[in-house]
A and B are shown apart, each in its own frame.
Chain A
Amino acid sequence: MSASREGSARGQALFALASVAFVVIALTWLDRAGPRAPASLAAGEAPSGAWICPHGGGADLSVALLLANPGEAAATVRLTQLGAEATAPPARYDVPGGTTLRVNVAPGARGDATAVEFFGGWIGAGWVSFTDAGAAAEPCAAEASQRWSLADGSTELGEESYVVVANPFAGPAVMDVVLYSADRPPVRHSEWTDLVVPAGQSVALHLNERLKGEPVVATTLEVSVGRVAAASLVVSDRTTVRSALGWTEPAAEAWFPTMKGSGQNELVLVSTASASIRFGATSLSEDQPRPAGGLTEQEHGPTAARAYAVPEEAGPTAVRLFTLEGALVSGALRVLGPRTDVGSTGGSVSASEAWVLFPASARIPADPGALLVNDGDVAVVASVELLPEEGGTPPPSVSITVPPHATAAVPPDLWATAPGSALVVRADGPIVALSAATSPGSRDAEAFALSMGVPLPLLP
């Protein structure tokens, strides 16, 4: 081969090598750079949502729904009553901005519930149910779930415990119900296995029918098809009532605020683990934190539900529950009121910088109160404002400083001016908020109820 031909052949080979190298390097470099990250989505312009309020009902129970609109614009609400039969046509309400709307419902059956849909703006929802001598209050459930744990139940003499399960969706829900107590093995009844809650209906599971005479009966729901919302409902001596929203997931940490009680509290825990777990509890108050009820590294048996006494002062306090070694539990706090009414709350497993608190009493007169819990390391300043009922004039907001690892009560005179209002709390750090109330009942009874707040979305 001539020299020129040889040279051109070499040149061609080099050109080929260079081309291949270029493509390989380019692709390698592009691969390292990776695909373009997709832009995030701005908030939409059609806010809507729903709450599910498994408040229960019955001939002896009255229920009021409380709907709070912390935004500036009016929002529309659609209420659908759920019961053991097909749903009635929904009722529609408009909630002006910055107001609270109270809607009285008349649930005829123990298992009744309400689905609250809101449009055009964020609405917070909670309920208050009351008998002649007692009251119960809870926030509505923001989400349906396929798993629920309800710690507070009791089937001792004089106590009738229910779990209200609401399925507001268009498809049936199928679930398994398991009951836990202190010493007995978990109870699974055939009629409560693959239990169907039809579409758009709500039922009450009467725990006394399955497990009698237990001071603590906790319930777990495992939903294999569909989603539900659930809350416990305990009627004592046919006069007093308490209610607690269930937990959708067990947790390793939770806060249970309380106030206006007698100081006799019980921390009710349920663990579905097959091995014992250890936990502790800390009492947070306006003073320094201290162990609650002597619960430090307390052992809790496997697949058991138990109540642990955590006596506290009557003022605003909170019990911080924590487990060791990452164990998971579900819990509730039972609080004896000033007289015989017992209140309960499911507490909160997370803190938030903004809350909406609902009044825990539907009667007038009432003595409402609210407390803020700051378990952080720095003090938190919170502003509290009232959302009056329509036509009312909101007083100026107040500012409260909550020291670290402490609680603080909202000034009682703020709420006393409009006890039917909701409160909006906005803080510069994560806090937990709860409302409580006492009100006179029949025959010198004093109704007492606790209601956790609902976290307020950052952009309502």
Chain B
Amino acid sequence: MTSPASTLASTGTATPSVLALLVVGARAAPWLRDCLLSLANQSYPRLGVLAVDDGADEDSRELLLRSLGPRRVLRNERPLGGVRAVRAALDRPMAKGADFILIVEPSASLDRDAVGRLVEAAVGIGVEDVGVVGAKIVDKDDPRTLHDIGRSSDRFGHPASALQPGEIDQGQFDRVLEVLCVSSAAMLIAREAWERVGVWDERLDRAHADLDLCWRIRVAGYRVVMTPLARVRVPGTAAGAPADRDGGPSRRYEEDRAAITAMLKNYGLLSLAWLVPTALLMGVIRIAYLSVARRFEEALDVVAAWWWNVAHLPGTVSRRRRVQKARRVRDRSLRRFMESAGVRSPRWFATAERILEEQRAIDEADEGEPIQRRLRDRTASLVGTHPVIVGTLLAIVVGAVAVRELVGLDVLAGGVLPAFPARAGDLIGELASAVRSTPLGGPLAPSPAVGALGALSFVAFGDPSTVQKAILLAGAPLAAILMYRAAVRLSVRPGPAVVVGAAYGLGALTLWSFSEGRIGLSIAIAVLPAAAERVEAAFAREEPPDDPQRFVAGMAVTLAVGVAAYPGFVLAIATLVMVRVCLGPSRARGLLLMSLGAIGAAVLLFPFVPTLLTDGGRALSSLVGTTEPDRLARLAIGPGPGTWPIAAFLPIGAALGLGLVRGPLRGPAARAALAAGAGLILSWLAAANYLPSALSNPPAYAALAAVSMAGLIGFGLTSFTGSLRLEAFGLRQVAGGLLAAVLGVGLFLQSVAVMAGTWGVGTPQERIPPAWTVVGGAADGPFRVLWLTGDLGGGLPPPAGDPQRRLEAGPATIRYALTDRGGVSVLDIGRPFSGPGPDHLELALREILAGTSRHGGALLAPFGIRFVVAERGALPAAAHDAFHAQVDVNLVPASGFVIFRNSVALPPAASLAVEPADLQILGAADPSTIAMWRRVPATTLERVPGGWDGADVDGTVFVSTEYDAGWELKGVGRRPEVAFGWATRFRAEGEPVRIRHGGSLPARIQVALLTILWLAALWATRKPVAR
């Protein structure tokens, strides 16, 4: 390969000829005159100028003709675009004769010696094989501001610059630099180079095609250098990253498109073998991140960029052939011009650098001072100036230590953590099914949250257990982050907002919810701050910051997410709204916005709304709570790390914060105080069974109190720190100091508790009581478990989940739940235990607890209940005696549990060998007849997706699921009959058993509609593209 220098030497040309090529488009007019003048004033002797009129306006055309003459102005009848115009110009004889082509942007003004310096760098400084030379690009109005000094890229073709935004030229780059690419504001290209590799890829946006060109030139063995001696001035927007054009493709899209194209063309095959999969993976991660952040347009840009490359792959391949044919160097020789990490993090490094600078400055100022003073000053500065970073780092440390034992586990169990199905498809299948697959069946639709979990499971490589763990571990941090953001929106300063987020995330309620694996409640706790902030904004004196449609859409999505995960969420929101109706400034507007938001949420949850309303709103209720005032005041609904008396830091801090608030924050603080008080009182009333079922959800009200208390802390801290320097020392300062001390000690000790505590969830071996093996391990075949506990106090032992219903029976009052042998399922998230089946179960329990019947086993048999389980000491003596008195239920020895085994249990689905007397009982609905049920030979049916299968049967097939005419014995098309007044049976006559439900089409249509609605809602609430 001959270098430009040697070529010139061989031809005996001491002064190479340079042809400056200027493509003038529609927007060049403001700067064209200066550009032409600068070219005219160049000191370089052998410089020619050729301009291309590529759609220039009249004035520009006129100027070109006057300045250069008609022979040096090429006019394109129609605009070809920058690249095509250059290519067309290079085909002219005068271009073919030039030793160098100097591409000049019409907005660029070259210093007088710029061309000479560029040529000098190409041939005159002893550097061989220079293919491209670039200039130092500075700002036209402020020449001290650097715009470009050459660029590199990451391994995936994304340009990267060493310059910081607005960096001042202090001579730090005043040396000839060998770079990956230079700006085409003034780019000198050797003829050999452009003849070998061609010019820009005309498919790419001109602003992003520079990197591809220079890269190709590099691959062809030429160097790309930047000489600081050649200085070019351009206006701010014309240099570096171009701005997005309104209505056109976004900058991100163009950059990604160009990067992928460049990567595919310019890398060797071996490099592509690992780079392409890595780039794909990183693209997926970026799409996921942008989607989660609701930056949907940017996510679509990434997808579109990849799609463009797929669609234009043949063109890319053909261009690649030329590049590889011209290749003279290996890829690894170019690595030194590329950034090592594919993840661009200049902003983080810039921030880190800034922090180090600050710390150094403080250290210098404190030189000679004692170490404690220096540490104090440095810490105060760090915390005061960068509270979010400090808070994040501390949270990462605390969180990592806290969950160290949970992260590596394959399976989590314990608390009330619901079991996830083994396959992601089962989650979607539940949503698309017309009947419930969990105990006792029925038509109640599941929560859309099940569908979201299914979608997430597919993303997680089809592993629902990964999603289970991810949601559980993300709950508390997400709550803290969203509380921080809500606080900032409510005019709390960043520093206090960080404290607010930490207080909320380390509060007893959040920690209890995490410890017990309360996935639905954890999501609600995380979403509540955002919802509360929106409620406050809706009723605020000023209009909400977003336009009304976006605000309503955002409110609808927030409400829908919260209600889908935890229906009791609506009670907290309703209380907030009531408080604002009493105390808010703009009641009418607020009510209107909230109503529209609620309607929107109902639309987004439309299949789930009947489930929420069924049985008097049972779905909204919860049967866990506490009536102990001291525990309730610190929001310690249940046990767990961080629920100890230290958790009282939150209510104490809230009270102090309320006393410190002043100015415009008084109104929000008063409302927060009212909401906190209402939350505590309502939580107590709900736990004490004074409220109707639909209004009875102690944890929801406690969450309301928690978010309000955290808000009060933020308001108080903001007011206090804002006036700290304005007032003399007094009681207010004492109160502020006390608040700081309470929060400091509280957060510190809560962090210690979190890091040292033992969570309610963990490995199954450690969290599931050993006595469970009596039930789960020893018994074979499918069966159901009836879990019992007393009226007040804790919940049920794992894996039962929370109590589903409560039966008042005087001293024998119980709360209970019915599960399969695997325990509570996530398929029932937000879904109540309601319907004819549960009602009949309650009837059976009434007979047992009233002491009227002593054949409880027979009464429970239709429900597939083989075991009745209670934690030892939790069951009231009256209830224990009632069960013990049953003649067909036997106490099984077990430590830790009280376990009764039903001796006449039926499998949840089986073919039965029955006699006429048994058939009579099977067809009866009254308990007095059902009590006569006796043990019959049964062959269990196998549970399959959508139904049950079994061998040939000539007799009765029984399924412990609510009767629904849609069930069918496939093959013979036999319709079902009612069994035991609520369940399902079939008469079989020798055919194989295949039971399926034929009514899933409406459910599938609903799923499709729901998907469309949610996509539309998320699009409506997307974050605007950062342009």
Contact = CB atoms under 8 A, between A and B. Distances in A.
Nearest to A6: B730
A45 interface: yes
Interface stretch (B214-222, B255-263, B560-568, B682-690): B682-690
Interface in A186-208: none
B658 A16 contact: yes
A170 B847 contact: no
Contact of A44 (B632, B808, B813, B846): B846
Interface in A4-55: 5, 8-9, 12-13, 15-17, 19-20, 22-23, 26-28, 30-31, 34-36, 38-50
B627 A35 contact: yes
B890 A78 contact: no
A15 B851 CA distance: 54
Interface stretch (B277-285, B381-389, B853-861): B853-861
Interface in B663-711: 666, 670, 673, 676-677, 680-681, 684-685, 687-690
A45 B928 contact: yes
B810 interface: yes
A42 B850 contact: yes
Contacts of B732: 9
A9 to B, nearest CB: 6
Interface string B722-738: 00000110111001000
B684 A170 contact: no
B661 interface: yes
Interface in B717-769: 727-728, 730-732, 735
B658 A15 contact: yes
A36 B690 contact: yes
Interface residues of A, number: 51
Contacts of B685: 30
A266 interface: no
The residue among B655, B735, B792, B928 with the most chain A CB atoms within 10 A of its own CB is B928
A171 B903 contact: yes
B680 A27 contact: yes
Contacts of B888: 169-170
A340 interface: no
B791 interface: yes
A141 to B, nearest CB: 12
Contacts of A171: 890, 892, 901, 903
Given A45-B926, A50-B854, A92-B917, A12 B846 contact: no
Interface string A119-139: 110000000000000000000
Interface string B153-185: 000000000000000000000000000000000
A389 interface: no
A13 B846 contact: no
Contact of B655 (A9, A20, A168): A20
A30 B847 contact: no
A339 B812 CA distance: 52
Contacts of B656: 16
A169 B890 contact: yes
A13 B885 contact: no
A16 B716 CA distance: 11
Interface residues of B, number: 68
Nearest to A169: B890
B928 A46 contact: yes
B690 A41 contact: no
B658 A19 contact: yes
B688 A1 contact: no
A23 B681 contact: yes
B932 A1 contact: no
Interface in B876-935: 885, 887-888, 890-893, 901, 903-904, 917, 926-932, 934-935
B681 A48 contact: no
A143 interface: yes
B659 A41 contact: no
A81 to B, nearest CB: 15
B175 to A, nearest CB: 60
A225 interface: yes
B619 interface: no
B809 A40 contact: yes
A23 B662 CA distance: 22
A119 B931 contact: yes
B932 to A, nearest CB: 5
B345 interface: no
Interface in B792-844: 792, 808-810, 812-813
A46 B927 contact: yes
B232 interface: no
Contacts of A120: 928
A46 B852 contact: yes
Nearest to A2: B727
Contacts of B629: 27-28, 30-31
Contact of B850 (A30, A44, A143): A44
B633 interface: yes
Contact of B859 (A31, A46, A169): A46
B199 interface: no
Contacts of A15: 658-659, 670
A17 to B, nearest CB: 7
Interface in A90-118: 90, 92, 115, 117
B502 interface: no
Contacts of B688: 30, 34-36
Interface in B928-955: 928-932, 934-935
A49 B854 contact: yes
A1 to B, nearest CB: 5
Nearest to B856: A48
B890 A45 contact: no
A115 B932 CA distance: 14
The residue among B666, B859, B890 with the most chain A CB atoms within 10 A of its own CB is B890
Given A35-B627, A47-B853, A119-B855, A23 B680 contact: yes
Contacts of B226: none
Contacts of A49: 853-854, 887
A170 B890 contact: yes
Contacts of A78: 932
B130 interface: no
Contacts of A41: 808-810, 812, 846, 849-850
A39 B810 contact: yes
Contacts of B687: 35
Interface string A413-456: 00000000000000000000000000000000000000000000
Nearest to A168: B887
Contacts of A46: 847, 852-853, 859, 926-928, 930-931
Contacts of B903: 169-171
Contacts of B887: 49-50, 115, 117, 144, 168-169
A34 B685 CA distance: 10
A28 B632 CA distance: 11
A9 B852 contact: no
B868 to A, nearest CB: 14
Interface pairs A-B: 9 shortest CB-CB: A170-B903, A44-B852, A46-B927, A16-B659, A40-B810, A35-B688, A46-B928, A41-B809, A16-B658
13 contacts: A1-B730, A19-B658, A22-B677, A27-B632, A27-B633, A27-B684, A38-B813, A44-B852, A47-B928, A48-B853, A49-B887, A119-B929, A169-B887
Interface of A: 1, 5, 8-9, 12-13, 15-17, 19-20, 22-23, 26-28, 30-31, 34-36, 38-50, 76, 78, 90, 92, 115, 117, 119-120, 143-144, 168-171, 225-227
Given A9-B662, A23-B677, A31-B627, 14 more contacts: A12-B662, A16-B673, A23-B681, A27-B684, A34-B688, A35-B689, A41-B808, A44-B853, A46-B926, A47-B928, A48-B855, A78-B932, A143-B885, A171-B903
Interface of B: 627-629, 632-633, 655-656, 658-662, 666, 670, 673, 676-677, 680-681, 684-685, 687-690, 727-728, 730-732, 735, 791-792, 808-810, 812-813, 846-847, 849-855, 859, 885, 887-888, 890-893, 901, 903-904, 917, 926-932, 934-935
